Every structure is written in structure tokens, then in C-alpha cells.
Structure 1
Amino acid sequence: MYLANEWKDYELMDTGDGEKLERWGGVVLRRPDPQVIWPASADPSLWNNANADYHRSSSGGGQWNEKVKLPERWTIAYKELKFHIKPTSFKHTGLFPEQAVNWQWMMDKIKAANRPIKVLNLFAYTGGATVACAYAGAEVCHIDASKGMVQWAKENLALSNLSDKPVRFITDDVFKFVQREQRRGSFYDAIIMDPPSYGRGPSGEMWKLETNLYPFVEECMTILTPNPLFMLINSYTTGISASVLTNVLSLTMKTKYNGKITSGEIGIPITTSGLNLPCGILGRWEA
């Protein structure tokens, strides 16, 4: 498992009974997590002292129960990178801390390349990977279908004092954007994608990972430079294993460019139990 174990501002304090207890800077939150099918390790008093907990609604979505008034948003840092945190109605906070393992890997790859690197970040959300790649010196194009997420990403870039870096933010359907880049003759040295299980583009375009991922990877390959640096695929889709991503990248990237493929689970260490919480999977192709 690839572990995000270098955080200081974030901590997975405990897990148990379908929930996780997390410290985001100075704020402690309880959130549901379907992977947690074991009992809690910590004393109940630790859980009861959470600043807020999230309750799902039977009609969909849910709400936060605040024991103390939370800030509208606050900031946490991963090394030199900074991010705004804000609890949303869908239980998320605007950041997936396990992705730090990918941020670090990408930063290392970009810095070691010793040449200009142009990165395309697709399904880019609030821009964790965008900020990391910009910090490492890459030119980045950030694409997401949600205008609100793109704005959040812009704020994260500014928060890390990187607003002067060459980053383009675009609200668009990723498939249509890639096809337009083909026609424009635009090319990238690295592509990141974090596709949802299901999704809709700005004009109602449908996305289903099992149906669309493989042809989308093929499409993305048409806008890679002759000497690409990496392709990264993240997935949180239940039932899709890391070996599936290995196979997809083997039949596409490795067939054309050779290189190296790695895949596996990503996770976060749990402080009280010493266990690790699985949080998704990754597939990486690198030159």
C-alpha cells in the first residue's frame, strides 16, 4: 500500500464502526467511511470531543452537526503546499489527504526530468495535484466540469503563493476538451486523471468509468508528446482493482512507450491502532 504518512496538519486519529475520526489542522471531524467494518480503538471520549460529525440523510446527502461553530473554511499545509478546507454537504472537505503520495511522486518526477514539463490534470477537483505540479515547476492545465471546484483550485494555488506560475484553469467536459486539444495540436508530457464512477459534464455529458475509462485513456494518448514523463490514474470506484489499472495502462501506454507500470492501494496510517485505512487505488505509467 502507498501510504500518505508525511502529514503534520492532517491526522487519521482513529477508525471504527463505519466512521473515521480526523484532525484537519486544529479541527477534529467525524465522518462515515464504508471501509471501516471494525470497532474503534480509542477511548469513546476522544470521539465525543470531535468538533463536528456528519450524518447521512435517508433521502440522500446529509448534514454536519457542529458541537462548536466551525470556521467557514480554514487552511492546512502539506510541506510547502497549502489548501483551504471546508466541510461540504456531501461529507467531503475539499481535499483527499491520501493523495499526498501522488503529489510527492509527481513533484519528484517533474524535478528530476531536467526539462520543461507540461501537465494536463483531468477531473482535477480542488487542485491538489495542480498545486503540487506547479510547485515542482511544471506548466499545468487544470480541467474540471464544476465551476465551483475550479474556483476553489485557483484559491489553493494562490494560497501556496503560486499564482504567478503558468497554470490554466478551465471548466469543461474532459472528453470534449481532449478532442479539442487534438484538433489544436496541443501536446502534454504528463497526464493525471481522477475519474468518478459516474458523472456529468457541464452540458449533461454522461461518464461511467467501466465503459469510458479505456477509450478515454486511448484518446488522451493522442495528445502526449513523443517522450512523455508519466500518466497517473486514480480510482475510488468500488469493485475496480489496482490490477485493472495495470491492465489498462499495459495495453495502452506500455504498448506504445514501453516504460514502467506500478499500481496498488493508497491509504493513510491510523494513529491509535497502527493499522492502515485503504482509500482507493492508483495506476502509474512512467518513462
Structure 2
Amino acid sequence: MARANLGRSHPLGRRLPPQPQDGHQAPARPPLTLRTSSVAPRVMSDCRSYELLDFGAGRKLERFGRYIVDRPAPAAEGASRENLDVWNEASARFERTAKSVGHWEALEPIDEDWTIQLGPLTLALKLTDSGQVGVFPEQADNWRWIEQQVREAGPIELLNLFGYTGASTLAAAAAGARVVHVDAARSAVVWARRNAELSGLSEAPIRWIVDDALQFARRELKRGRHYDAIVLDPPAYGQGPGGKRFKLEHDLGDLLDVCRQLGGGSERFWLLTCHTEPLADKEALADCFAAHHPAWLKRGILRSEAMGLSSPGGLVLPGGAAVRASRDVC
């Protein structure tokens, strides 16, 4: 994919370059001044509770613990399924009826919720109206990376924005971090707190906040708060308490600028992930981050990677991009 040619006038930092016309060759890009992974996306390799069984024709088939779910996957459009028989083993199938909602068809009796084990964490799952089950398995390598960074840094203050059901928060807390977990959806925060209880972390130093990410970050800045590490997984669109809306293309640049100030130039690490085009491309996401935090190119290590999940046949289903910024090893 073409790398974004970012410019500070755009809310995300830069605009995408125009595509070359027929018969014209695009100008050569200058070399990156940051690290991008040249290997295949990192995938979950040691999690027995999860498996991507197959994907194709716009859908994916996954095993979460004892249940197998069949649901839409835009990244699987145009791909051919490897194993047609395994699709008959699905426990439930999700069909989308509108842009963000749909319904599940249970193909066998399914508990209202169930749990899976991811390393030291126990997470509760359930079938939701959005087609999600409560965990994004393509993030598993990022959770391990967060744990590693926290253990190497020692006790730190970490801000997790768009924290969803809490896997990143709990990975950090289990390693010894004091965490502020922010999500605009009260139901997600309630779910995350239950995951903390299931994981034996109910007494961990975690502040659970229901708020709009950008508004909360701005108030923290006014309060003079400082964070040693910042984790962000922004959606394309979100709506917070009081109807406040977050739109990736309009608000991410401002959010990165505010978070940079919350770090004060002495952060131990950042993690920025995105699943929405054009920032689902690792180079575009790295360019966006560097445009709003250029100091990392001088004082630390900045690495961008594609996220994805691997099928039994070794094919990779793309799952977005991640930027890891660290003072040590990314």
C-alpha cells in the first residue's frame, strides 16, 4: 500500500498523496527515518483458547474457547476459504442487518457468557449485537509487549484510552503498572472490571473512567497530570457520555497532541493501534504518529507493524496496524 504523505494541515497530520495517472510512474518515496517491520504480521502463537480456523468470502471462522463463531470480516473479501467442511462446525453465525448492528443465529446451545484464558488473564466473552465477542485477538502480541515494557520500566503510570473490555489495562496492571482505563461506553467499563475480577486483579491500582477520550485527556492536562506510558486503540467513530462524538479523521490528531503533552517528553513507551483505513496501513499510521510526536525519531525507537491472524494453512487475515514507541526495544 502507498505510504501516506502527511502534512500538518490535516487533522491526522498529513494527507494521502494523489494516485498516479495511467502511464505515469509515482515519484520515488524518500526512505523512512523510522523502523517498519519487513516480516509477516505477528500472530497469536501460544494461545490455546483462540484459533482462527479459516476465512474467506468476506467472513472469518474463529474458535473462542469451547465455541466456534462465524462472522463478517471485510478484510476477507476476495479470499477463498481453505477448508469448507470446518464451517459446518460453527456454534453461532452473525449476520449484519445495519452498519453497526446485526443478529446472531445460535447453531447449538450457547451460554450467555463464557471465559477464555489468555496468558495470565481470564476474560469473559459473550455474543453482542455489534458482532463482537469482547476481545480482539490480533492484539495479543501487543498485550505481551505492554507487559514486557512495564516489567522493564518498573512501577509506572499508564493511560489506556478506548480501553474496551480491558485486556491491555490488565496486561499492564498484572506487570505492576498503575493504570487509568478510559472508555466512553459504560457497558465496556463494567465488562472490563469483571475481567479484572476474573483475572485476580480486582484490587490492582486501576481507575475505571467512563468518558470521552479526548475530553478526559484535556482535563487531565489542565489538572497537571503526567503519564509514563500511553496506549490508544481509537475506533473510526465513537459516541461518549452526553452525546460527544469522536471521529478518527477529525479528532485523532488533536488527541495525539494532547497525549504528547501528558507525557511531557519523558514517556517510557506508546502504543497506537488502528483498524480503519487509511491508518490500518502500518506506514501511514507510523507517519501519522511521527507527525505529532517527532521527538521519538531522535530519542527512542519507533516501530510499525501490521497486525493479523494466521490460519492453520499459514494464510494471514489482516487486522490493522500498530505503532510501538519505546526507549528500549520495540
Q: TM-score, normalised by structure 2?
A: 0.83
The one of 61, 77, 96 equivalent to 1:56 is: 96
**Aligned position for 2:304:** 263
Listed one character per residue, the Cα deviations across residues 208-227 of structure 1 (whole Å, up to 9, x for unaligned) are: 21221122101111111552
What is the Cα deviation at residue 60 of structure 1? 5.9
Distance, in Å, in 1 between the alignment partners of 2:247 and 2:273 is: 15
Distance, in Å, in 1 between the alignment partners of 2:73 and 2:99 is: 18
Distance, in Å, in 2 between the alignment partners of 1:30 and 1:112 is: 39
- Change in Cα spacing, 1:38 to 1:221, as seen in structure 2 (3 Å) is same
Q: CA RMSD in A?
A: 1.5
Q: Which amino acid aligns with 2:80?
A: P
Distance, in Å, in 1 between the alignment partners of 2:202 and 2:56 is: 40
The one of 168, 171, 179 equivalent to 1:132 is: 171
**Aligned position for 1:187:** 226
Q: Does the aligned pair in 1 maintain the 2:278–2:284 contact within 8 Å?
A: no
Is the aligned partner of 1:283 residue 2:328?
no
Distance, in Å, in 2 between the alignment partners of 1:108 and 1:26 is: 29
Is the aligned partner of 1:213 residue 2:255?
no
Q: Which amino acid aligns with 2:206?
A: V
**Aligned position for 2:149:** 109
Q: Which amino acid aligns with 1:30?
A: D
Structure with more of its chain in strand, by fraction? 1
What does 1:70-85 align with in structure 2 at a 5 Å threshold?
70-85=110-125
What is the Cα deviation at residue 47 of structure 1? 0.8
Q: Which amino acid aligns with 1:126?
A: T
What is the Cα deviation at residue 69 of structure 1? 1.6
What is the Cα deviation at residue 254 of structure 1? 3.6
Distance, in Å, in 2 between the alignment partners of 1:248 and 1:189 is: 21
Q: Which amino acid aligns with 1:206?
A: R
**Aligned position for 1:232:** 271
Distance, in Å, in 2 between the alignment partners of 1:91 and 1:43 is: 22
Distance, in Å, in 2 between the alignment partners of 1:207 and 1:119 is: 22
What is the Cα deviation at residue 59 of structure 1? 7.7
Q: TM-score, normalised by structure 1?
A: 0.95
**Aligned position for 1:242:** 282
**Aligned position for 1:198:** 237
Listed one character per residue, the Cα deviations across residues 3-59 of structure 1 (whole Å, up to 9, x for unaligned) are: 222211000011121111111101111111111121211142x21121111112258
Deviating beyond 6 angstroms after TM superposition, the runs of 4 or more aligned structure 1 residues are none
- Change in Cα spacing, 1:41 to 1:118, as seen in structure 2 (3 Å) is same
Distance, in Å, in 1 between the alignment partners of 2:305 and 2:84 is: 32
Classify the secondary structure of the residue corresponding to 1:30.
strand
Count of aligned pairs = 284
Classify the secondary structure of the residue corresponding to 1:35.
helix
Q: Using the aligned pairs only, state the percent identity.
A: 37
Is the aligned partner of 1:118 residue 2:151?
no
Q: Does the aligned pair in 1 maintain the 2:47–2:118 contact within 8 Å?
A: yes
Is the aligned partner of 1:38 residue 2:48?
no
Kindly indicate whether structure 1 or structure 2 has the higher relative contact order, using CA contacts under 8 Å at least 6 residues apart. 2
Alignment gaps of 5+ in structure 1: none
Distance, in Å, in 2 between the alignment partners of 1:124 and 1:58 is: 25
Distance, in Å, in 1 between the alignment partners of 2:100 and 2:126 is: 20
Q: Does the aligned pair in 1 maintain the 2:304–2:322 contact within 8 Å?
A: yes
Q: Does the aligned pair in 2 maintain the 1:249–1:285 contact within 8 Å?
A: no
**Aligned position for 2:182:** 143
Is the aligned partner of 1:3 residue 2:43?
yes
Classify the secondary structure of the residue corresponding to 2:272.
strand
Alignment gaps of 5+ in structure 2: 1-40
Listed one character per residue, the Cα deviations across residues 143-194 of structure 1 (whole Å, up to 9, x for unaligned) are: 0110000000000011100111100001011111111111211111000111
Distance, in Å, in 2 between the alignment partners of 1:274 and 1:246 is: 26
- Change in Cα spacing, 1:226 to 1:61, as seen in structure 2 (3 Å) is closer
Q: Which amino acid aligns with 1:143?
A: V
**Aligned position for 1:177:** 216
Farther off after superposition, 275-284 or 151-160? 275-284
Q: Does the aligned pair in 2 maintain the 1:254–1:261 contact within 8 Å?
A: no
Is the aligned partner of 1:155 residue 2:213?
no
Distance, in Å, in 2 between the alignment partners of 1:58 and 1:217 is: 31
